[in-house]
Amino acid sequence: MENIQPIVANEIEKERINQLKFPDHKVLTKSEDIKRLQNALHQATSLGNLSKHKVQIYFEDSEGLKCVNTTVWAITEHNIMLKSGMSIPIHRIHDVKLL
């Protein structure tokens, strides 16, 4: 049986996201991981718009892995849009989990 380690990330408030610095390189490189993330982001956006359902987003800024519990309002070509004009670059997101 494989020993799967939980993701350990520092939780932050969504209001602090615009203060973070995001490097240009991608955190996911495997095509199946990128496809899984895109599906999760589309599901999170649908749930956010239909029922204000929150998700936990695991992402990486220049200082390390972080997570935020929030509602996803929209997806653009390069970012996910959160409440109050906050955004996270898609290429820096590791995972999205439903709450």
User: Would you state the torsion angle of the CA atoms of residues 92, 93, 94, 95, taken in this order, to the nearest 10 degrees?
Assistant: 180
Among residues 57, 55, 65, 59, which one has the least CA distance to residue 8? 65
Going along the chain from its start, the domains and CATH numbers come out as: 10-18+25-98 (2.30.30.100)
Going by pLDDT thresholds of 50, 70 and 90, the confidence category of residue 2 is: very low
CA distances from 45 to 4, 9, 29, 62 (A): 28, 22, 23, 25
Three-state secondary-structure class, residue 18: helix
Position 95 pLDDT exceeds 80: yes
pLDDT tens readout for residues 22-51: 999 999 999 999 999 999 999 999 988 888
Entry pTM: 0.89
Give the amino acid at 85.
G
Rounded average pLDDT over 65-94:
94
Other C-beta atoms closer than 10 Å to the C-beta of 25 total 9
